[in-house]
Structure 1
Amino acid sequence: MAIKVVSQIPGLDIEDLKLKGFKVHELPASVNVPVSSGRRDFYKMGLVNGDMTISYGDKILEINDTVLFFVNPNVPHSVVRRSKKTNGYACLFTEVFMTSRERTEVLKRSPLFQIGDTPVIPLNSEQAAFMTGIFKKMLAVHNGNYTYKGELIKSCIELIIHEALRIQPSHNAPQFKNAATRISHLFIDLLERQFPIERADEPLQLRTAHDFASNLSVHINYLNRSVKEVTGKPTSVHIAERITAEAKALLQHTDWSVADIAYALGFEYPTYFNNYFKRVTGTTPQSLRKK
């Protein structure tokens, strides 16, 4: 019999999560259906003990022990449990929840949430006991009436991330020669994480150098100077090339209308997109599609 996969996560109210910014819960002993593969708009970290298969991006991970499991919202994933004895805890939170600059930096730049790293960290009995204590604390705070529960949950999230890095340092953590190299890497990473565009009703959010500078909390002149120094090309050129490349892909490999593609790429009107595309490529979107 084929396994039926559904898009809902058992016991999770998505609207409530978006409203509060976080949710902590104990995993049920068994679930009738696995969680479907897909991209969502929240991060997830879990402490899991059981027999299961985790599909994460292009990786298939077989789990039969106690592990920490980290999920990046940009990576499609699914979990199939093979035993009713599975147990553990999960903490889900939105990027907006980690509001301060320092905490957002910890989250975004943590190698545990980078696509190239393995999302699973095996734990020994001592490490598992320590992590269990943190998740139990978060669960108690989540279910209680403490006025500053959000701040306490954020601190616990940071502690779990740092403890996980101490247990298993990332093999993909970038080494930067100087500050300019670092900010250029962050800019390129932020640019690339917006693609590929999969839905016409979710338009591109960062389209200008000012957008990226604001997101990275740096002055636009510093961003432009650093990117030009390290890559040899201005920030605006990187953005234009990437948007144009995505536009070509959407024109050639989807049946979206030119208007839908324009809106998906963040253009207010299709005419603006047509003029932009012709200025950059020398041809119109319709001409490219016909070719």
Structure 2
Amino acid sequence: MSDQLETIEDYYNRLRKNQMKMFDSDDFETGKSHFNISMRKYCSFKSPYNRRDYYKVSFILGKGTFQYGAHQLYVDRPALFFPSPHIPYSWECDGDLQEGYFCLFNQEFFNGNTEFNLFKKTSLFKEWSQPIVFLTDEQAQLSNLYFEQMYKLNYSTYAFRCSSIKSHLASVLHLALENRVDDINPDELPANVRLYRLFDELLNKQFPLDSPAYPLALKTASDFADHLNVHVNHLNSSVKSVTHLTTTQIIKERMFEESKNLLKYTNWDIAEIGYTLGFEQPSHFNNFFKKHAEVSPLKFKSTV
């Protein structure tokens, strides 16, 4: 796997360096929810082989080749492309006729709507999924409609444009899931990816949390290792080899994401939320949340 990681900031800097004005990127702030969309006819004809720290969804009308991890994927008909952020890829156009759209968004945007939670339990954007979904003519027309609306909304002054963009993006993701019949068989995956997949499925099955009466069961890397009947060091090394993150980092990030959702969308008090997430003392949850959000849970709740 390539160790080169391109951030959204790196990507925008590369566009500016090459004097490519595909879209306005002035509103990007690290750590803040971010979404952007562009027509593909403004793309460069070759992108570097890197991992990305952001999500990208492309609606491709045109021919070209993806180098995706160890695989070469040729696109010669309408398709949707959903790469995993953990797998390096590059794209090279085959011919001048390139149409369609692509959008990119960061983790904060993906986490900012509970409607997206169900997609985290699917194969989309995962290392074991096929990243290309080929489309029929009817599906291509539908995809074009969704992306065209997102493009218009992104540059509109409509007060609820962000919510509408997320709804259209969710429709694209649903369309992909309806057609996803060729994901990689678990038996064909490397052992480290198989173990990471089991961990990922266990982690996401625990969310969303429905009631303080049913607190989080698996909270630590050791909890997951015991449940999977493997040594914690083996789990840690497998997860890190795939994601470049530790098992604990992934668990804590998912807990933090859920804590924000509970603060936003429930009337539970701070102590109940902390207890449901596995913190026996409210002060421990308070410290955990402040470390990640740089504000207290109470202040966060009062501003949403």
1:60 has 2:72 as partner? yes
2:218 matches 1:223: yes
Paired amino acid for 2:34: G
Measure how far apart 1:104 and its partner are.
4.1
Q: Which secondary structure does the structure 2 equivalent of 1:151 belong to?
A: helix
Is 1:148 matched with 2:160?
yes
Report the counterpart of residue 50 of structure 1 in structure 2: 62
User: Which aligned pairs between 1:17-56 and structure 2 lie closer than 5 A?
Assistant: 17-18=28-29, 19-28=32-41, 31=44, 33-56=45-68
How far the C-alpha of 1:149 sits from its partner, in A, is 1.4
TM-score (norm 1): 0.60
User: Contact 2:130–2:183 at 8 Å: present in 1 too?
Assistant: no
Tell me which residue corresponds to 1:138. 150
How far apart, in 2, do the equivalents of 1:246 and 1:107 lie?
20
**Aligned counterpart for 1:87 among listed residues 89, 99, 103:** 99
Partner secondary structure for residue 97 of structure 2: coil
User: How far did 1:244 drift?
Assistant: 6.9
2:59 and 2:47 mapped to 1: Cα distance? 16
Counterparts of 1:121-270 in structure 2 under 5 Å? 121-169=133-181, 171-172=183-184, 188-189=199-200, 222-223=217-218, 227=224, 230-232=227-229, 238=232, 240-243=233-236
Structure 1 residue aligned with 2:117:
105
Identity of aligned residues (%): 22
RMSD (Å), alpha carbons: 3.8
Instruction: State yes or no: 1:116 paired with 2:113.
Output: no
The C-alpha deviation readout for 1:22-70, integer Å capped at 9, x for no partner, is 0011112563x51111112211111111121111112101112111111
Larger Rg: 1 or 2?
1
What SS does structure 2 have at the residue aligned with 1:141? helix
For residue 142 of structure 1, report the CA deviation from its aligned partner: 0.4
Name structure 1 gaps, 5 residues minimum.
1-5, 175-183, 192-211, 250-264, 267-291
Aligned AA (2:126): Q
CA distance in structure 1 between the partners assigned to 2:75 and 2:238 by the alignment: 38
* Whole-angstrom distance in 2 between the partners of 1:157 and 1:222: 32
TM-score by length of 2: 0.57
Partner amino acid, structure 2, of 1:26: M
**How has the CA–CA distance of structure 1 residues 109 and 56 changed in structure 2, closer, same or farther, with 3 Å as cutoff?**
farther
Q: 1:30 to 1:231 in 2, by over 3 A?
A: closer
Distance 1:228 1:153, change over 3 A: same
Q: Write out per-residue CA displacement over residues 221-251 of structure 1, whole angstroms, 9 at most, x where no aligned residue.
A: 5116984774246xxx62x55457899x9xx
Number of residue pairs the alignment of both structures matches? 210
Contact 1:17 1:93 in 2 (8 A): no
Deviation string 1:160-197 (CA, Å, 9 cap, x unpaired) is 111111123353598xxxxxxxxx98772389xxxxxx
Cα distance change of structure 1 residues 62 and 245 upon mapping to structure 2, 3 Å threshold = closer
Preserved CA contact (<8 Å) 2:128 2:183: no
Residue 16 of structure 1: CA displacement? 3.9
